[in-house]
Amino acid sequence: MSAAAKIKLLVVDDSAVARTMITDSLASDPQIEVVGTAVDPYMARDKILALNPDVMTLDIEMPRMDGITFLKLIMRHRPMPVVVLSSSTTEGSAKAMEALRSGAVEVAEKPEGPFSSADAVGLAKKIKAAAEARLHTSAGPRPGSRDGDNRANLDTPAPVQPLANPRALIVIGASTGGTEAVQRILSEMPGDLPPICVVQHIPAQFSSAFANRLNGLCQMAVREARSGDELTPGLALIAPGGKHLLVRWNGSHYVALLNEGPLVHHQRPAVDVLFDSVVKAGGASSCTAALLTGMGRDGADGLLHLRENGAHTIAQGEASCVVFGMPREAIRIGAAAEVLDLRLIAAELTAQGRRLSAAAVG
């Protein structure tokens, strides 16, 4: 798509009110053109053939055929970037996670009332990120997911041992496409590593479901972070949507802190906030960090600060990124000691984590 071309958007929702709100909320954005709307997947199929949209927004709950089933069919027969709109209920959050596993590149909360200006800006950003996405064209779970046999190829979990170096830490940042990338990495890592902190750009309503999903797939314990959590070996904390995640050193171990400070790179949680907190806590030299797929530049400066202070830093390579934005910026400014394909990152984080945890302190 040329820089001047507008993103052609198809809006699929059975609610006339929702279709109108989405269309009206995007009307003032010069980069997006709503070329059509559809009330159900059958009409959407015809509109896709007639209009050849660049991106589709898709409601999960629809008559005649649910959004997840339609999404899987789209990814099998006519792959295209899809932004799923879901309610913030427990059931809606679970379905949103299923949509991401089934090929959607972004998920957004469906407002209960009229779109606010913040809703409109957030949705527009997700549509623009989706327009830049590289797609996985196979139906079903994306490469590297472990649905059904998530532990079949993993080593038997080793018992978690006290670290020789209690400052050892692994930090990961990701955005568009990151839910599947983070899942792949964490599910391939053993449970005896230093504490792990993850910032994934995700709406607040869905981060808990994301953490719970990972907890069922991984050898380490995974949960949404809470202020005051002690970072312990064998534990991965996921930043809650809408809150920055930071770490602090209390003299014997790290603790997690959450705040609702200003947006950084239009994000909260922001990867830069986590990465910079590790530097401020004096933990960079005992840290390994990875910056994964995502639009924009969040995390690039933080990764550079980590590297300048002794951390081992990794950026995901372009070929395996859904959106090569954040890693590209990190590579451009010299923040990445290594640039690795997604399939290699888990092994490298594991090796670095074990090296750091075994290092003598002092």
Question: Which active-site residues does the annotation give?
Answer: 175, 201, 298
**Cβ(199)–Cβ(269) under 8 Å?**
yes
196-200/169-174 β-pairing: parallel
Q: What angle do CA 253, 259, 265 make, to 5 degrees?
A: 110
Query: Is the Cα torsion angle 24, 41, 130, 94 positive or negative in sign?
Result: positive
Q: How far apart are CA 275 and CA 212, in angstroms?
A: 23
- The strand pairing partners of 287, in sequence order, are 169
**Cβ(106)–Cβ(176) under 8 Å?**
yes
The HSE-up count of residue 40 (CA atoms within 13 Å, CB side) is: 6
Q: How far apart are CA 121 and CA 106, in angstroms?
A: 14
Q: How far apart are CA 185 and CA 309, in angstroms?
A: 25
Q: Which of 196, 337, 362 is nearest to 278 (CA)?
A: 196
Q: Would you state the structure tokens that stand for residue 338, as one six-digit string?
A: 């290594």
Q: Which of 79, 99, 83, 80 is nearest to 91 (CA)?
A: 99
Burial of residue 204 (CB within 10 Å: 0-12, 13-18, 19+) is middle
